[in-house]
């Protein structure tokens, strides 16, 4: 259920439990599913006190007493909590009951844990005696990883190297971090395939959503993709920005329909990677791939569209083929132009964005239709995903196998 919350409520978005990482050495917090299991056991007084303390620690006592504790989400399990002396319940925005809360202890702590439909957004209120204390939205989106996204001891691990790039001539006055994945056993001068990733740092994180290095390790070990160097490039921060701030130059770099980003790659970043790490990329364009999501997805397509003599493999998820900076013209361009020798993988979902710039699901379907019309080597996988990487992450191993299927 999609909903818009009234402005007079304090609004909170449900937080994903997987993102609440404990400090090193600290005991991990209890999870929504663990709370549900403990409640089902009807604990004795001593056990109930332990559960009480764990719930307070998870949500925060001050948040609980002030009605500022958003729901916690683990997969499709959602937990709410509040401290209030009167019996409380959780309802949808239209008043439909989600569930009555269960008291824990004698200080007014109450909890509710329930399963919610996957790939949904639900507006809710926590209320007692008819009075609302907290309102928010739970965004439930869960996909299970396959074994290829999990570390395996038999698969040798590649290594990650990093450098900062602040001397761009194509995008002057920008600073960015570049992460380079070198496959296990990489030797200077070894000839490898290449795969460039936009929004690089988040995808280069072995513990992040995409887990690209882990997938690379597994597929390279099983010889289901070639030995490949990954170059993960962050969008440019302006020189005055601090590390960690949202990159101000991202939209200009990624959404512009021009050859600027391909010139940035081929003239600046890739030569620097070759120099720093003594890499040698295979000269055949079939050995060069590029990937990204959202604006990074359209950026990846633009690079291959402009330079099919260099890049012939594109991986795009929830691609922004909409009118951010003219990208909505691509379906027409694909239909009108001579077919280019590029392979394109697309992924999107029914719950992707729909706003003043366009409708992302329709735009990706139009891209797929145009690619089919021109007889491109393409594939589109369709999910229920929202905008982001959650839908792509579990599909990444299969997408890479398909993309690299004829290169070893």
- Residue-wise pLDDT tens digits, 68-77: 999 999 999 9
Give the residue-averaged pLDDT of 204-224.
Answer: 97
How far apart are the C-alpha atoms of 401 and 207, rounded to whole Å? Answer: 21
Question: Which DSSP string do the residues of 281-304 spell out, in sequence order?
Answer: E-SSGGGEEEEEETHHHHHHHHHH
User: Which residues are paired to 358 by β-bridges?
Assistant: 355
Cα 134 to Cα 4, 63, 83, 228: the distances in Å are 14, 10, 11, 49
How far apart are the C-alpha atoms of 327 and 313, rounded to whole Å? Answer: 19
Q: Which of 224, 230, 194 is nearest to 210 (CA)?
A: 230
Evaluate if residue 11 carries a pLDDT over 50: no
Q: How confident is the model at residue 12 (pLDDT cuts 50, 70, 90)?
A: low
Q: What is the pLDDT of residues 77-120, one digit of tens each?
A: 999 999 999 999 999 999 999 999 999 989 999 999 999 999 99
Token pair listed for 237? 């921060």
In this prediction, residue 351 carries a pLDDT of 97
Q: Which of 395, 346, 406 is nearest to 224 (CA)?
A: 406
Helices 396-403 + 212-221 axis angle, to 10: 50
Average pLDDT over the chain, rounded to whole? 93
User: Which residues are paired to 176 by β-bridges?
Assistant: 165
User: Which residues are paired to 181 by β-bridges?
Assistant: 160, 230
Please provide residue 360's backbone torsions phi and psi, each rounded to the nearest 5 degrees. Answer: -60, -45
Token pair listed for 187? 């030797």
Q: What is the pLDDT of residues 259-289, one digit of tens each?
A: 999 999 999 999 999 999 999 999 999 999 9
Question: Which DSSP string do the residues of 164-220 spell out, in sequence order?
Answer: EE---SSSTTEEEEEEEEE-TT--TT-EEEEEEEESHHHHH-TTSSS-HHHHHHHHH
Q: Which of 222, 203, 205, 82 is nearest to 152 (CA)?
A: 222
Q: Which of 236, 218, 123 is nearest to 178 (CA)?
A: 236
**Dihedral of CA 249/348/367/178: which sign?**
positive
In this prediction, residue 242 carries a pLDDT of 85
Domains delineated in the chain: 11-140 (2.60.40.10), 147-403 (3.40.50.1820)
């Amino acid at each position: 259920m999609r909903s818009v919350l009234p402005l007079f409520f304090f609004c909170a978005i449900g937080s994903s439990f997987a993102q609440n990482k404990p400090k090193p050495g600290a005991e991990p917090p209890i999870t929504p599913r663990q709370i549900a299991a403990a409640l089902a056991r009807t604990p004795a007084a001593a056990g109930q006190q332990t559960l009480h303390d764990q719930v307070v620690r998870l949500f925060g006592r001050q948040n609980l007493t002030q009605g500022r504790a958003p729901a916690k989400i683990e997969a499709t399990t959602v937990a709410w909590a509040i401290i209030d002396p009167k019996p409380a319940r959780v309802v949808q925005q239209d008043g439909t009951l989600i569930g009555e809360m269960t008291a824990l202890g004698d200080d007014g702590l109450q909890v509710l844990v329930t399963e919610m439909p996957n790939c949904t957004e639900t507006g809710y209120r926590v209320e007692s005696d008819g009075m609302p204390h907290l309102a928010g939205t739970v965004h439930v989106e869960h996909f299970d990883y396959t074994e290829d996204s999990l570390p395996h001891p038999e698969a040798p691990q590649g290594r990650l190297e990093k450098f900062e790039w602040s001397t761009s001539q194509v995008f002057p006055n920008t600073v960015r971090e570049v992460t380079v994945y070198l496959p296990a056993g990489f030797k200077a001068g070894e000839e490898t395939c290449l795969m460039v990733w936009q929004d690089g740092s988040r995808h280069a994180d072995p513990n992040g959503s995409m887990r690209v290095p882990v997938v690379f390790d597994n597929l390279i070990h099983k010889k289901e993709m070639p030995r490949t160097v990954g170059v993960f490039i962050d969008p440019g921060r302006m020189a005055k920005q601090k590390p960690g701030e949202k990159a101000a130059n991202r939209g200009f770099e990624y959404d512009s329909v021009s050859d600027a980003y391909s010139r940035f790659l081929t003239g600046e970043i890739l030569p620097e990677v070759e120099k720093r790490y003594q890499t040698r990329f295979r000269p055949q364009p079939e050995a060069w791939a590029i990937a990204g999501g959202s604006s990074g997805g359209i950026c990846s397509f633009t690079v291959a569209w402009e330079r099919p003599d260099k890049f012939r493999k594109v991986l795009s998820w929830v691609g922004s083929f909409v009118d951010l900076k003219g990208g909505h013209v691509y379906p027409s361009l694909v239909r009108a132009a001579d077919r280019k020798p590029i392979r394109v993988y697309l992924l999107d979902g029914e719950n992707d964005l729909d706003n003043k710039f366009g409708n992302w699901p329709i735009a990706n379907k139009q891209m797929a239709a145009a690619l089919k019309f021109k007889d491109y080597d393409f594939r589109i996988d369709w999910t229920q995903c929202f905008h982001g990487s959650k839908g792509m992450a579990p599909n990444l191993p299969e997408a890479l196998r398909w993309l690299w299927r004829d290169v070893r």
